[in-house]
Structure 1
Amino acid sequence: MAQQAERIVTSLPDAVGKEVGAALAPVDAELARRYPGDPGTRQPVHTVYVPGDAYTATTPRDWGERALASLDEHAPDAETFARAVGLADELAGPVYERVRAKLVREPVEDLRVDFEDGYGARPGAEEDEAAARAARLLHETHANNTAAPCTGIRMKCLEAPVRDRALRTLDIFLTGLIEAGGLPEGLVLTLPKVTYPEQTAALAHVLDAFERAHGLPAKRLGFEIQIETSQSILGADGTATVARMIDAADGRATGLHYGTFDYSACVGVSAAYQSSDHPAADHAKAVMQVAAAGTGVRVCDGSTNVLPVGTRAQVHEAWRLHYGLTRRALARAYYQGWDMHPGHLPTRYAAVYAFYREGMAAAARRLADYAARTAGDVLDEPATAKALSSYLLRGLDCGALDAAEVTSLTGLDRGRLEEYAAPRRGDLTATAAS
């Protein structure tokens, strides 16, 4: 028996829809401006800080070699390494092999030449020389394809005592890159110890002036905001300040980096308890995460100052701590963190690779079911499909997963994964309602 067609009846005149559209047009524009979503580019899994006078053209390779030497000495096989960090037996071999390959192929994903705490106060001429040298070396590494995928500097902060020095170092570094041939891809700038939105607005003004001076496209230069003071989380008037800092950056903010030890000290945490898993750290990062959501600004976790050096027992203990903190951060959606020593690289990559490999099959199955409109054991929505595809893409980008195995499990190539990971505004609601 043929199904009877429903009679479709409406009551609202067309003018109502037009009136609503006109009334909400400013909101639509504001949503598009403030919340463009994730940029869809690769996010490094870590940031390595190297003092300005210690940076060389071979720094990434040197860190990789030192990390491999640490593995050779303290965990020469997969079983030893798995026991040291608490890695599941079924993951031990695949993760260990991938870690070693990563340390040869691309040991550092994001390198910051540090002119702040790691460099300290130096005579002006000495810092001038170091900033110019950093620009020259960065250009050379890009020219010979040995640069880390992301590289830049952390300048001093914009507080009055060091403001002129900070801006001069930034100017020397950027001008040196321009003179050498132009700004490289993957260039990153970090502004530390931000306390007021006016400071991010000031740096945005400086970068605008630099772009105009060199005929660069508007907003070619962005910067990370380092969260190291309580005032960056809660202002004197009781408002959450970090969201205002992003807004004041006028579209140039690319990341929020949590500074474990400066922030902990600022709120009075004793040195023995300063860690990225302290409740004060969790609160600060939760505020950062909510403030950054949807803006395209990415959140980066802090570091541990416990270095994997000394006896094998000491190294294993430090590795276990770093591995656990990294896994904890990943579960909380902090996909990037600081690494302070070459010995941290094995556990950084081990934690990241284990995180993606142990969840790959389940995530791929759920995404494949969603794409095929097949009812599996979990009823996923468009927003979850976005999260599943983003998870797999992150695993691909860092080397935890291979394209062939992801495609085999999902039936989707990278292009389709990217479509699910970056739906246009409104698509999630529209798809869910359809």
Structure 2
Amino acid sequence: MGQQEKVATSLAGAVSEGISASLAPVDEELARRYPGDPGTRQPVHTVYVPGDVFAADTIRSWGDRALAALDEHAPDAASFAAVLGIGDELAAPVYDRVRAKLEREPVEDLRIDFEDGYGGRGDADEDADAARAARLINEAYARDTSRPEAGGGTAAPYMGIRMKCMEAAVRDRGIRTLDIFLTGLMEAGGLPGGLVLTLPKVTYAEQVTAMVRLVEEFEKARGLEAGRIGFEIQIETSQSILAADGTAAVARMIDAAQGRATGLHYGTFDYSACLGVSAAYQASDHPAADYAKAVMQVAAAGTGVRVSDGSTNVLPVGTTEKVHAAWRLHYGLTRRALARAYYQGWDMHPGHLPTRYAAVFAFYREGFEQAAARLSAYANHAGGDVMDEPATAKALSGYLLRGIDCGALDTAEVVGLTGLTRADLERFASPRRGDLTATAK
């Protein structure tokens, strides 16, 4: 190689050094506040089951009831696709994958509820139910050690409880329930890797701070690594979106969690009622819901905190006509959420599982080939009719990884079309801050 040509500059090196020194605190703040997505699997839904109802066979029962609903109301791919408006090319692949999912892994995320779905009970009953929940979760993971590839659907990849909130009337009860539950897990052998906790009805950042203190004290009491226990924040009040001073309270809540917040979950009905929305119009596609979730999404962007949509309370029960109507509604709401980058939602009934997975699988399968081709062209600098940038490569790889994780796509078919391994996809999906030129080659 020849001698590199010297180029002329006008600024002394001290200028760049001085600017870097002045921005060092900003660099540190960016790294702390916006570490990026954790790169772990995000479940497509959360199923809530009351603490007194949860049993050892709950997850398998939900899968069996969902399969029975398909057998009764859409016994083949053609009839199911006709109800939901799925095209002919996707009808069989989606239907077959839905049935396989319900047999293998019917629930991706389970929350045993000790809040609204549980209600007010005597302390002795809640103590017993919290202890039982810990025992059953431990036993489920012990039976289902091969999760998620081949467990038979007795455990979910993610499981935990929703405690009562930090408001004065129920605060002590919520703290005690969480203590009993976590202590039961520790006594049974330790906290499972898929443990998820949900703190509901958060209104002030100080309530999040209190939750941080609570789990910190538990970690100290049990000799756990600091930061081991994270939690979701449930957004169910108007004050959690817009504070009294006009700022986004949810952003302060994320900061108050000190890195422990794992998700923001939108509470469809509590939030709508808080704004005075009539019961008939309380839905996840109401303009008030769209506004709240948009604020949540912007506040969470880059922080590693994920956003989850809410649920529909229209249950697919009764006649086939009523079931089909409820399925169409749920399918449409789920597809709408996916297009808005809300990749998780709530499901309240086993009959929601077929349409949850149908919507998710159709979403990933219909765009799979185009996404794979674009990412392959980008990785190989092959050009094409779309000029993609690193940010788009991040979105494309994230899309493919989510499709693989939920079962919509197979790793082999993604590798076959992209020429990229899963490790390659993960590097594109979660580049280090400032690495805007990451490639897999």
- Structure 1 residue 431 displacement after superposition: 6.4
Residue of structure 1 in register with 2:149 after alignment: none
Residue of structure 1 in register with 2:38 after alignment: 39
The 2-side partners of 1:53 and 1:273 are apart by 30
Residue of structure 1 in register with 2:429 after alignment: 421
- Structure 1 residue 11 displacement after superposition: 2.0
The 2-side partners of 1:204 and 1:57 are apart by 30
The 1-side partners of 2:424 and 2:242 are apart by 41
The two structures, once aligned, show a CA RMSD in angstroms of: 1.4
**1:203 lines up with 2:202 in the alignment:** no
- Structure 1 residue 22 displacement after superposition: 1.2
Which deviations, in whole Å up to 9, do the C-alpha atoms of 1:104-160 show, x marking residues without a partner? Answer: 000000000000000000001000000000001111111111321000000000000
**1:247 lines up with 2:255 in the alignment:** yes
Q: Secondary structure at the match of 1:70?
A: helix
**1:310 lines up with 2:309 in the alignment:** no
Aligned length: 430
Q: Secondary structure at the match of 1:188?
A: strand
Tell me, which stretches of 5 or more residues in structure 2 are unaligned?
A: 145-153
8 Å CA contact retained: 2:202, 2:237: yes
- More off after superposition, 315-324 vs 419-428: 419-428
Amino acid at match of 1:312: T
8 Å CA contact retained: 2:431, 2:438: no
The 1-side partners of 2:211 and 2:6 are apart by 60
- More off after superposition, 70-79 vs 13-22: 13-22
The 1-side partners of 2:84 and 2:17 are apart by 61
Residue of structure 1 in register with 2:91 after alignment: 92
Amino acid at match of 2:12: P
The 1-side partners of 2:168 and 2:86 are apart by 48
- Counting only pairs closer than 5 Å after superposition, residues 129-278 of structure 1 correspond to structure 2 as 129-145=128-144, 146-278=154-286
Q: Secondary structure at the match of 2:351?
A: helix
- Structure 1 residue 15 displacement after superposition: 1.5
Tell me, which stretches of 5 or more residues in structure 1 are unaligned?
A: none
**1:371 lines up with 2:379 in the alignment:** yes
Residue of structure 1 in register with 2:418 after alignment: 410
Residue of structure 1 in register with 2:370 after alignment: 362
The 2-side partners of 1:4 and 1:360 are apart by 47
Which deviations, in whole Å up to 9, do the C-alpha atoms of 1:73-113 show, x marking residues without a partner? Answer: 00000011011111111100000000000000000000000
Amino acid at match of 1:46: H
Q: Secondary structure at the match of 1:427?
A: coil
8 Å CA contact retained: 2:331, 2:359: yes
The 1-side partners of 2:252 and 2:3 are apart by 56
The 1-side partners of 2:70 and 2:136 are apart by 29
Amino acid at match of 1:334: Y
Change over 3 Å in CA distance of 1:47–1:431 after alignment to 2: closer
The 1-side partners of 2:224 and 2:10 are apart by 54
- Counting only pairs closer than 5 Å after superposition, residues 364-403 of structure 1 correspond to structure 2 as 364-403=372-411
- Structure 1 residue 249 displacement after superposition: 0.8
Residue of structure 2 in register with 1:120 after alignment: 119
Q: Secondary structure at the match of 1:112?
A: strand
- Structure 1 residue 200 displacement after superposition: 0.3
- Structure 1 residue 5 displacement after superposition: 7.3
Q: Secondary structure at the match of 1:299?
A: strand
Percent identity of the aligned residues?
76
The 1-side partners of 2:372 and 2:127 are apart by 51
TM-score (norm 2): 0.96
- Structure 1 residue 162 displacement after superposition: 0.3
**1:280 lines up with 2:285 in the alignment:** no
- Structure 1 residue 363 displacement after superposition: 0.3
8 Å CA contact retained: 2:428, 2:438: no
Residue of structure 1 in register with 2:102 after alignment: 103
- Structure 1 residue 7 displacement after superposition: 4.5
**1:70 lines up with 2:69 in the alignment:** yes
